[in-house]
Structure formats: structure tokens, C-alpha cells
Amino acid sequence: MSESQISIDSRVSTESRGSATTAAPGFAHEPGRDGTAATTPASTTPARTTPAPSAVLELLKPVTWFPPMWAFGCGVVASGVPLAGNWLVAVVGIVLAGPLVCATSQAVNDWYDREVDAINEPNRPIPSGRIPGTWGLRIAVAWTGLSLLVALALGPWVFVAAVVGLALAWAYSAPPLRLKRNGWWGNAACGLCYEGLAWVTGAAVMVGGGLPPAPSLILAALYSAGAHGIMTLNDFKSIKGDLQTGIRSLPAMLGPQRAATVACWMMAVPQVAVIGFLLAWDRQVEAAVIVVFLAGQLVMMQTFLKAPTARAIWYSGFGVPLFVFGMLASAFAVRGLVV
């Protein structure tokens, strides 16, 4: 073998060994098709210093706005006040419930959950770096202020509901309370924000910012309690990260099977109470409608309980809609009712 051939073979051998551990300057590794490490040019794009609008929208999670907007709509219906002549305040109120207050809670949660999300959902805007630095916190603070300003313009009881809802949103995620570390307290806070306070806000907006009638308040409280179980469904996907970071969600604390059983009871019992109140208020037709919706949920709960971790999302998609349709039926039942 010639000296030049020996030199070439030596360089090839050295480069092959080096490619398994380190990259040449200016390159990053990615797996080659033959099982060896390959090299690709490293990104030269400078680190982002401000978030892109698309990342901000993802941070605010529009998909989560529907529950409070629906509950707000139920409050509007329950008020018994016609929408004619009140469209503007109703629309502004819906924006307050969803794109403002609910979106604020999502921004706060993502900021204080950035370590957990690095395990469970590393592609979320903050852990992925698409919302850099302290921008996540800044957005949460700005949305809080904007929510309070809009609520103040809609009346005193709307403002009170917004203050309570925003306080719970921060207490849920932020230290020192960080209610989400305990599934009992955290889910109660979420249920109250997503359902009860949104319902009260909708009714209050329609009665000129005043306190809604007692039947509306009772239904708002009961559906808030039922939402505790719905919140538990969202925790099954995060059991691994919750256990690693010390967050005591109900699935992490009780185990999937017991947590699923608790969630089902929490969703079903308040609906039974709603049926009882509607019968007491002489609203038999609407009570019968909710009985049918509840029966459908009970059938699906049996399937969910057989494999709760695998079927939590399935139940959220098919069982929970019957719960929220029952909310609307009960809202129609108490339109303008004063007891």
C-alpha cells in the first residue's frame, strides 16, 4: 500500500469515528439513512427576541375558549332578557369570557408550567423558544389588565366576576398558591372560572350589570361543580410529567382508575341536583331532557371506566357535549324565573 493511500485511509477512519460523537464546526447531526450520523448545515437564524403572532395565538389556546363562551351564552339565555337591542354588550361579554379572561388563564398557566411542558409538550410556544424570554409573563399581565378594563365597562357585577375569575386563574398556576398542584383545589378553581363565573357574567351583562336571579346562580354553581370532573379528564394525558414534577392531579394522586370514578361522580351528581331543582320549579319538560342527556353520559361512562387513560379524550369528545347541552336546556328552563 502506498504512503498516500495510507494517509487517505487514516483520514477516513478518523472522520468516521468523529462523526459518531462530534460535528464539524458549523454543522449539526441528524441520523443518516444507513444508521450512521449525518451532518447538515446548522441554522444561522438569530435567536428570536419577540414572539410571532402565531405563537401568541397558540399560547392563548383558542380551542379552550369555547367552554366559558358557551357558559356565558347560557347565562344570557337564563337572564330572560331579549337579545334585541343588547347585541353589542352580549358580543363584548362573549369576548370577555373567551378571548380575554380564558385566554389570560392559558397564558398564565403556560408561563408557570414551562418546566412541565418541557416534559409533556416540548413543542409548546414557551419551552420551544417561539415565545422567548419573559414574553409569556408579559402577555399574561397585559391580558389581565385588558380583561379588567372591558369588565369594568360592562357593569359592577361583571367586574366582580372578572376579578374573581382572574384571581383564580393566577392562583391556579402561580406560586405561592399554585392550586393546580392539588387536583381537588385546582379543578374546583377551573370549574368555577370556566362555567360558573362565565354563566354569572352572561346573566349579569343582560340585566344591566346587576346580580342575576337566584335560579341562575344556583344552576351556575351546580354546573361549576360538575365541571370539576371535566377538568379531571384533561389530566390523564399528563400523568408522567405530573408525577415527575410533583403536581398532584387526581390521576397522579389516586391512580387512573380511581380518578376516573371520581370524575364520573363529579359530573353526574350535580346534574341530578339540577333535575331536582327544575322539577321543584315546575320545569318538567326541561328536566326530562336533562335526564335523557345524563342517561347517555352514564352509558358512555361505563366505556370510559374500562380504560380511562386511553379513553379520556374520547369521553371528552362524546360525553362532555351532552353535559353542556344540558346546561343550555336548564338555561332555557329558568328564563326570567324568580323564586
Q: What percent of the chain has pLDDT over 70?
A: 86
According to the model, what pLDDT value does residue 117 have?
85
- Report which DSSP code applies to 2: -
Of the listed ranges 6-10, 71-75, 292-296, the one predicted with least confidence? 6-10
According to the model, what pLDDT value does residue 187 have?
95
Q: Which residues contact 198 (CB under 8 A, 6 or more apart)?
A: 67, 68, 69, 71, 72, 75, 97, 101, 165
According to the model, what pLDDT value does residue 45 have?
53
What does the pLDDT look like over 19-46, one tens digit per residue? Answer: 433 443 333 344 444 444 444 454 455 6
Task: Give me the residues paired with residue 29 across strands.
Answer: 39
- Report which DSSP code applies to 40: E
**What's the whole-number mean pLDDT along residues 166-181?**
94
Distance CA 187, CA 200 (A): 19
pTM score, two decimals?
Answer: 0.82
**What's the whole-number mean pLDDT along residues 188-216?**
94
**What's the whole-number mean pLDDT along residues 97-108?**
97
Higher pLDDT, 242 or 146: 146
**What's the whole-number mean pLDDT along residues 229-248?**
89
Decide if pLDDT at 303 tops 50.
yes
Residue 3 banded pLDDT, cuts 50, 70, 90? very low
Strands (E), the chain: 27-31, 37-41
Residue 220 banded pLDDT, cuts 50, 70, 90? very high
Decide if pLDDT at 280 tops 70.
yes
Residue type, 262: V
Cell of 171: 392562583
Cell of 119: 416534559
Distance CA 109, CA 119 (A): 15
The total number of residues shown for the chain amounts to 339
Residue with cell 344591566: 208
Residue 170, CA distances (Å) to 148, 174, 196, 228, 239 in order: 14, 5, 17, 18, 22
Higher pLDDT, 159 or 7: 159
